[in-house]
Amino acid sequence: MRPPERLSELEQLVLLALLRQEREAYGVSIRQEIEETGGRPVSIAAVYAALDRLQRQSMVTSWLSGPTPERGGRAKKHFAIQPAGAAALRESREVMDRMWDGLQSHADLNTG
């Protein structure tokens, strides 16, 4: 059995944005979610590159919506997290939780 894929920080943020937006997520809305909720600027190209990697690893799926008037009749490409993506996201959180465990009182974390 192949070891689980490790997610980059951006891939984690993209997957979390997908969870927050459920089936309404598309590139621009994912970018906005990361910037507004995560407080991190990110380029749309970086979001689409992460989505492409995640889709190749079967962690997300995509589909085209119908044409919309506000986009000049163009369809939006929507994305949704898949079970493999949710599992990888859980594993990433567990790894970080283990790394943080016991460090909350570390002097370097309490300096301003």
Write down the pLDDT at residue 24.
Answer: 86
Write down the pLDDT at residue 1.
Answer: 43
Contacts of 101 by beta carbon, 8 Å cutoff, 6+ apart: none
More confident residue, 86 or 72: 86
In CATH, 9-101 is 3.40.50.300 = no
Strands 60-64 and 77-81: antiparallel
pTM: 0.84
Give the domain ranges of the chain. Answer: 9-101
- What would you report as the CA-atom Rg of the chain, rounded to the nearest whole angstrom? 17
Q: What is the mean pLDDT of residues 69-75?
A: 74
